[in-house]
Amino acid sequence: MSSYIEGALVPGEEILYTGHVSAWSLAGWIVLGFFLLPVWGLSVVFWIVAYVKYKTTELAITTKRVIAKFGFIGRHTVELNLAKIESIQVSQGVIGRICNYGSLLVSGGGTPQAPIPNISDPLGFRRAFVEAQEKVLKRAAA
């Protein structure tokens, strides 16, 4: 079974950077599971929820787009053309700064703002985006 992002690539498009949801952002589900260990396996439900959220969130920067996919049964996707994105805002709280996770707010011309919550290394994701966008703009100018 291939990932959503691999299946969404068009000919000539390559993945430049992949991001991941932060395990720290799922700590509430995991800790709640530990507290509910004595309750007949209810803890397993919380751990499964955390695992599914972790495994079913896909984030990537390709040579043409920023792609984010959330969800397992219900799916929510964000796909924005690199050349059309105007800014990526990074939001990190104190715990996010300490644990190196945060949320991104991607905005572009004619596009509503697209939030990408709770990703690991959001500054690395933004840096990879800027590098990819510069390559695309240089290619378009040539």
What's domain 4-21+57-141's architecture? Roll (2.30)
- Report the DSSP beta bridge partners of residue 59: 19, 68
Neighbours of 73 (CB within 10 A): 6
Instruction: Specify the pLDDT at position 142.
Output: 67
Asked if 21 and 119 touch (Cβ cutoff 8 Å), the reply is yes
The full 3-state SS of 22-82, as one line of letters, equals CHHHHHHHHHHHHHCCCCCCHHHHHHHHHHHHHHCCEEEEECCEEEEEECCCCCEEEEEEH
Angle, CA of 47, 49 and 55, to the nearest 5° = 100
DSSP 10: P
Per residue in 81-137, pLDDT (tens digit) is 888 888 889 999 999 999 999 999 888 777 677 888 889 999 999 999 988 888 877
And the tokens for 78? 């964000």
For the chain, give the mean pLDDT. Answer: 85
Per residue in 69-86, pLDDT (tens digit) is 888 888 888 888 888 888
Q: pTM higher than 0.85 for the full model?
A: no
Higher-pLDDT residue of 43, 17? 17
Per residue in 1-16, pLDDT (tens digit) is 358 888 888 998 989 9
